[in-house]
Amino acid sequence: MQTFGDLSSNRLNLLLVGLATNPAAPKSLIDRLLEKPWAEFEIASRQPHLSIGQLKRILSRSGDFAAQAASLRKLPPDIAAIAARHRNSLVRQQSIISLTNQDVKFEDTVIAELERLAGDEECNVRESLARTRRLPDRIRYILLADSNARVRAALPYGWDDIPREVYNKLLADSNQAVRIAACQTRRHVPTPGMLLSLLSDRTTRATAIPFIDLVEITPPSSLLGDPDEEVRAACLGTAKFAGLAEKKLRHDESISVKVALLVSPYVSNLTRKSVYSEVMSGVTLNDPTSFIVREIVNSCWDDQSVLRWVGDTAQTDWESLLESPCLHLRRALARSSKTLPPAAICDLLKDSDPTVRTITATFARNLSEENLVKVVEECGDSTKGYPHITRRREFPATAFMRFAKSDKVRLRSLAAFRTNSVEVLGQLSSDPDFTVRLACAKNPHTSRKCLSILLRDPVDSVAQAVAANPSIPIEWMIELESYIL
């Protein structure tokens, strides 16, 4: 019993919990720990290698939290069936993923469990089932007759090949949420008569407008003056209203309409630039980080969308874009850095905001080792993206040796977590800051000698991390197991 020294009951429990989550822990040890209520949840949520018997044990006999954690896994059908009958509705809801994944054959036993879930007393369970993309039609027709509108509204989102007659039934449902959901999914093109009916219904009008370009009808021009801003904004996204919508809505003060003017392919570059200038100069709203800018960024998240804001000649406007006071815009540009010219990337790497620099270094192509290391070194302590930069193939392993000697705790912790150098880990395992020692305790390349020292660390979480490290010797696991009563 020399490895662990004198252990308090609290320290012992923490070490055993760490060992319970160790992927290299023997099955016999996990079985013994499952008898301890304080270890159930950690095992269920963090132990990657659980046997069929252990999963059955957790789902049948453990508390609700442990069962919920276990049900998040990809379960075999017979184990998922146990989860589907669990007393906790969240466990039943999560079992749907395992019962309907691509590897499962819809045999009679599986279908019987799905039918049981289709009649579950909890609406959330039935709604989740209705949203499932892989589901026998027999189950879907049961859900189609559900009395709760939330369940019917969920069906078109998961039913990719929904029959036209079923889709039309949902479009004509008595509940507006169901009609809106059917319009939003656009599984089929409605008939002209059905579309005119949807356009006359104020609850479905905005979601039905995208169908206008697909149906042979003349849309009513009154839609451009609709009191609902979402309706007016939707008109800007249709070809049939092109030109006319831009002319009538150019000076609309609605945020939704302004966002639509900026992102619509049917709006001229001249109008788009004008609206963009208003927003950025504060004519519309004085705050450069205002809601409208966030809405624009959320509406144009793909790589090319930011360029569309200033038209097809966006390359000539890089300087003004990169100098924008709006952080949302500069961060959106950084996320689009794969498509930006080299000069723009250089400017983003010099941005005053560390998050802009971090995002650029994460996504931009063909960056030098020097640039990558510099961004990581200059990141603020509150910036969380820099670990992704160190995972890039171009990131030099030698940089971790430099980080290990830094006066910044953040860099020493990063070196301890990412390096595979036994020498560097040996140096950092006695670091005065416990977060650095904690990173060493988690690193599978840390030497046995250093791990034995870290086991006696005064900080409990460091010792616990050693117990969870898959590189600890099996004899340590056996010795620790002997402490279990």
Q: pLDDT for 58-78, tens place per residue?
A: 998 878 889 999 998 999 999
Per-residue pLDDT at 435 exceeds 80: yes
Residues 65 and 181 in one domain: yes
Q: Provide the pLDDT confidence category of residue 319 given band limits of 50, 70 and 90.
A: low
Residues 2 and 119 in one domain: no
Q: How many CA atoms lie within 13 A of 225 on its CB side?
A: 3
At residue 181, the pLDDT reads 96
| 3 vs 482, higher pLDDT | 482
Q: Provide the pLDDT confidence category of residue 260 given band limits of 50, 70 and 90.
A: confident
Contact 228, 202 (CB under 8 A): yes
Residues 153 and 56 in one domain: yes
Structure tokens at 190: 């409605």
Asked if residue 478 belongs to a domain, the reply is yes
Residues 9 and 92 in one domain: no
Residues 8 and 28 in one domain: yes
Residues 16 and 128 in one domain: no
Residues 81 and 182 in one domain: yes
Per-residue pLDDT at 340 exceeds 80: no
Asked if residue 372 belongs to a domain, the reply is no
Distance, in Å, from the CA atom of 466 to the CA atom of 476, rounded to the nearest integer, reads 11
SS3 216: coil
At residue 56, the pLDDT reads 93
Asked if residue 466 belongs to a domain, the reply is yes
Q: Of 82-91, 233-242, 372-381, which gets the smallest average pLDDT?
A: 372-381
| Phi, psi values for residue 186, rounded to 5° | 50, 50
Could you read off the pLDDT of 143-155 as tens digits, one per residue? 999 999 999 999 9
Contact 451, 441 (CB under 8 A): yes
| 380 vs 440, higher pLDDT | 440
Residues 11 and 124 in one domain: no
Distance, in Å, from the CA atom of 469 to the CA atom of 462, rounded to the nearest integer, reads 11
Q: Is 270 exposed, middle or buried (0-12, 13-18, 19+ CB in 10 A)?
A: exposed
Residues 155 and 36 in one domain: no
Per-residue pLDDT at 300 exceeds 60: no
Report the alpha-carbon angle 371-374-380, nearest 5: 130
Q: Is 335 exposed, middle or buried (0-12, 13-18, 19+ CB in 10 A)?
A: middle
Structure tokens at 108: 């009679």
At residue 14, the pLDDT reads 87
Q: Provide the pLDDT confidence category of residue 317 given band limits of 50, 70 and 90.
A: low
Structure tokens at 439: 């990173």
Q: For the CA atoms of the chain, what is the radius of gyration?
A: 29
Asked if residue 387 belongs to a domain, the reply is no
Residues 73 and 183 in one domain: yes
Could you read off the pLDDT of 270-294 as tens digits, one per residue? 887 788 777 666 544 444 445 555 5
Range of the domain at 110: 50-163+177-187
Q: How many CA atoms lie within 13 A of 159 on its CB side?
A: 28
Per-residue pLDDT at 28 exceeds 70: yes
